[in-house]
Every structure is written in C-alpha cells, then in structure tokens.
Amino acid sequence: MKGLIVAVSRSAAYTFSKPNQEGIHLLAGLGVEGDAHMGETVKHRSRVARDPTQPNLRQVHLIHAELHDELRAAGFDVAAGEMGENVTTRGLDLLGLPTGTRLHLGETAVVEVTGLRNPCVQLDHFQTGLMSAVLDRDEHGNLIRKSGIMGVVLNGGEVRPGDPIRVELPPEPHRGLVPV
C-alpha cells in the first residue's frame, strides 16, 4: 500500500485549524516540532484536565484528502489543515488501517498509528453541521468516525507535500482502530 502526502500543517498555538507549511519536522517520541500538541504526555486540553501524565498517543493527526472531497461535495468548505490535521494524505484508506500500522513518511519519518480521532464539537464551531458530517453508521448501526487517525512518531524526519507514504502493517491478528 502506498499513498501520498498532499499537505502538512502545524500551529504553535491551540487553534482548531493549522496553517499549511512547506514542510514539518517530526521528532521521535514527541510529534511535530513547533506544534502545540507536541510532547511525550497529553497536550489536548480535555485530556490534560483529566490526567496530565497520560502518554501522548495523539502526537500526529492525519486526515485523508478524500474526506475533504466528500465534505466539499456535501456543501462544506474544508481544505487541508482546517480540521486540525498535521498531515493530509491521498490514496490510503487511513480509517481501515489496523492499530500499530507504521506509516513511513518521506525519507526517514515513521509514525505508528495509535487510533482514531474522536470528533468534537469544535467541528461545529468551525462550520455548522460538520461534526455530524464526519460521523456515520455501518450496516450494523455501529458508529463510524471519519475525522482521521492519530499516531506517535517512532523515527523523526522532514515531511513535505509530495512525499510518498509507505504502509507497514503490524503482525496479525490485526486490531481495528478505536478512539484515542
């Protein structure tokens, strides 16, 4: 499985959207250099309030550009980085990857997938109705969260738009993604 990075984004402040960059630097065990969510322990405010010593399983947020396409077709005005992601991909079924998948980004960076992003009400503050647009139900009525995946940086490196993504699946049995 191979994909492509179409955009990279970061914000030093706790903002919902992250401005696109020419490149970002991933730091092993920390996340995106210069991003407000970088660190070994949780940085998302709600998680810090619960327990600031929890490990940061949300160092890097990835969203598939195909979601942006779907949302635009539904009438939303959404572009790369605007939903808070650090890496926007194309050509990979991010939501179908198992926990523990390693994504090789560019020449040296490796991000291990930890789980799903759990969409929050901030999506509706950005654009009314966006939160329900990134939620769905499967044929059994189970909730599907489409707002991307989260990961931790195993190996650092520079990541830029146009860089390839190589997927390394974990050993079987595979575990499906759950919110982290």
Tokens of 80: 């790369």
Smallest Cα–Cα separation from 86: which of 117, 108, 107, 122? 117
Looking at residue 152, what is its pLDDT? Answer: 98
Q: Which portions of the chain are predicted below pLDDT 70?
A: none
Q: For 13-27, what is each residue's pLDDT tens digit?
A: 999 999 999 999 999
Looking at residue 41, what is its pLDDT? Answer: 95
Report d(CA 71, CA 136) in Å as an integer.
13
Report d(CA 11, CA 33) in Å as an integer.
10
What are the extents of the domains in the chain? 2-168
Looking at residue 93, what is its pLDDT? Answer: 97
Model confidence, pTM: 0.96
Looking at residue 46, what is its pLDDT? Answer: 81
Q: For 92-123, what is each residue's pLDDT tens digit?
A: 999 999 999 999 999 999 999 999 999 989 99
Residues 6+ apart with CB under 8 A from 63: 80, 83, 85, 87, 88, 89, 94, 117, 147, 148
Report d(CA 49, CA 92) in Å as an integer.
34
Q: Are 152 and 59 in contact (CB under 8 A)?
A: yes
Looking at residue 47, what is its pLDDT? Answer: 83
CATH superfamily of 2-168: PK beta-barrel domain-like (2.40.33.20)
Smallest Cα–Cα separation from 5: which of 30, 24, 31? 24
Report d(CA 105, CA 134) in Å as an integer.
25
Report d(CA 131, CA 146) in Å as an integer.
10
